[in-house]
Chains A and B, each alone.
Chain A
Amino acid sequence: MSDAEVLFHAHREPVFRYLCRTVGTADAARDLTQEVFLRVTRSVPPDAGHDGQRAWVFRIARNLALNYLRDGRRRPAAVALVEHAAPATQELAAAIDGAVASLPDLERDVFLLRESAGLSYEEIGRACEISADAVRNRLHRARVQLRDALGTTFRIQRQRGVRLARRESDD
């Protein structure tokens, strides 16, 4: 199996999840995911170990997503992940997508690379070309802003209870 195939099988799902949240529609995310791995196939992966290669794949994904949003002057739509959900879930998902979409680009990307893609701070820093300290700061800002934006939704979820989620890299 080639390097590109290994990267495809290892990262296609987190790349798709990240793109879904970033560009706002599942169809566009699928197209962009294909484009990401097309570029991976045409390139030589950096000799930087698993984490470095993952960060490289996500840097490609992030750049494509940013181009997609800029080219069409699009904003992430609040309908991306709610297409197949139950009505009550649709309302919740729309609120979450709306709150995420309201974040500044870098905060949004840092947050989604952590929560949707499961990247470490170092990997996020490589993907976004910022330092790990900057990742920490941006992530904190994003979380505070999202918590405040979600308001009631957040409080309801807190009443339902919480659990420690697994990291993507633990899979």
Chain B
Amino acid sequence: MTDDLQVIEAFADGERVDAEALMAALADARGRAHFVDVLVLRELVDPRAGVGLPVSGRGGEVVRSGASWSSRFVAVAAAAALVVSLGAGFAVGWGLAGRAAAGRGGAPASATPAGTPLPPIEAPAPTRVIRFEPGVDWTEGTGGD
């Protein structure tokens, strides 16, 4: 039986085999099952699903990683989103800094990236009011009293 199975394997491997021997081998249910097993094993060990070889030299610098186009697109989109969010964060921070400077009465050379004047920012309302009373000595003394 092993010989029959080897004939089937050789056929599956693209080797030239005796047609009569192949017919006899495939006439047996075990032979047919083994033929399927060889193909299943081939699918499992499919090497083309793995990582690739960075190619250097004439003919093109290609890195074939085996990653799908969709995963590459996701990676590029994620990188683009990161760049956009960093840029937006920088622009917002730049604008807030300009507004704060304007609120302090300063005139930074570039209050806004576009140089447009910003409305004054009102100071927040006091949460506690301390009344000044005449005659009270406000200077700090030594000794903690």
Contacts and interface: CB of A to CB of B under 8 A. Distances in A.
A154 B44 contact: yes
A21 interface: yes
Given A139-B9, A162-B40, A96 B67 contact: no
A136 B9 contact: yes
B44 A96 contact: yes
Contacts of B13: 114, 120-121, 139, 167
A150 interface: yes
Contacts, number: 108
Contact of B50 (A20, A33, A100): A20
Contacts of A54: none
Contacts of B59: 9
A88 interface: no
Interface in A29-56: 29-30, 33
> A interface, how many residues as a size bin?
35 or more
Nearest to A155: B40
Contacts of A169: 14
B114 interface: no
Contacts of A140: 2, 5-6, 9
B39 A163 contact: yes
B88 interface: no
Interface of A: 1, 5, 8-9, 12-13, 16-17, 20-21, 26, 29-30, 33, 80-81, 83-85, 89, 92-93, 96, 100, 114-116, 120-121, 136-137, 139-140, 143, 146-147, 150, 153-154, 157-158, 160, 162-165, 167, 169-170
26 contacts: A5-B58, A13-B53, A13-B64, A16-B53, A17-B47, A17-B50, A21-B47, A26-B51, A29-B53, A81-B47, A92-B44, A115-B41, A115-B42, A115-B45, A139-B9, A147-B37, A150-B44, A153-B44, A154-B40, A154-B44, A157-B43, A157-B44, A158-B40, A162-B40, A164-B39, A165-B39
